Amino acid sequence: MSDTSTGWRLSIRDALQRTNDVTKPGIIPVEDVSAADLGDWQAALREKLWDLLGGPGARVEPCIRVVMEAEEDGYTRSLLHYETEPGVVTSAWLLAPKSSANERLPGFLALHGHGRGKDDVLGMVVDGDPNSYEHVRRLNYDYAVHLVRRGYVVLAPDARGFGERASGGCHVPGLVSLYQGRSIAGQRLWDDMRSLDLLATLPMVDPRRLGCGGLSEGGKRSLFLAALDERVQVAVVSGYFTSLRTEIARWDRLAGWDICNVVPGLLRWADLPDVAALIAPRHLTIEIGRADPLYTLEGVVTGYARMASAWHALQVADRIDLDIFDGAHQWSGRRSYQHVDSVLRPE
């Protein structure tokens, strides 16, 4: 018979908490990095992140198929299909302001989260059902339309598992991908980088003025895209930011997360604030609802203070913003639209 008086514990939570407490990251935390060493630190972490994500995909010569075009109030809407890897086709809405001027406009990648895919960020009604718009209204989800009306050329691609690419949502593709040694997060990142390629090469777009943003899974996609692709000059990460170590200590919030958030082995090397610090010295707005059920405010504030050390070290702390607004898990735009305008459409 076993003796339980020796301090043995049956709780897997306790075991994982202890691992969380004793694991030291293999790359020094961003707050301990000097301005002189920051560039080398970023290069090392980017290389490690690609390794953890399962590596980049195979490049393919860009080939775009225009499926349909429509005229909207003040802008045009086109449905595009294009390859991001050999045999892997992505679908996206392209929104372009109607203008008689020949000037090149800034480009923005509007990345969706969980839901219907790219149709959500356009606020599209499905099959004439007005109720299909209700969750868009509640989440302020149609930021792609807000951005095109502000003068941006906007590309809104479907992530793998959503919209026209629906095939089991996150869970089944995520499981199969992990068995194959490549995360769904890494595959979506690769697709988003190739979508940025497409956006940057459009004749109407100024490739020096590119941004990205999104809510929830779209916020995660925006965080990793801006961290690993330096063409992004400004990013809006909405409803996706915290210190993972803090959330693990609180534990219960993680029940609302899913497999698409997983970067295998990340905490052996870094945390989300370190990933965010890869964006420095470029521009970043993080917005989180005060009542967001997925994150503790402690995790958000603690994580932000850690990542902000990179911008402080470079003496460009005015390029980052944390907007904690009164709301839940939703897009705000209260300060983020103005931040994007100040970078990509300066007066």
Average pLDDT of the segment spanning 118-146: 84
CB atoms near residue 97 (< 10 Å): 18
pLDDT at 275 (0 to 100)? 98
pLDDT digits (tens, 9 = 90+) for 295-312: 999 999 999 999 999 999
Whether 101 shows a pLDDT value over 70: the answer reads no
Pairwise CA distance, residues 141 & 120, whole Å: 6
Average pLDDT of the segment spanning 79-104: 91
How far does Cα 266 stand from its chain's mean position?
16
Rg, Å, the chain Cα set: 20
pLDDT digits (tens, 9 = 90+) for 226-250: 999 999 999 999 999 999 998 888 8
Q: Is the pTM of this model over 0.85?
A: yes
Distances from the Cα of 200 to the Cαs of 5, 203, 285, in angstroms?
65, 8, 22
Q: Phi then psi for 82, rounded to 5 degrees?
A: -160, 155
What is the rounded end-to-end Cα distance, in angstroms, of the chain? 77
Say which residue, 7 or 322, is predicted with more confidence.
Answer: 322
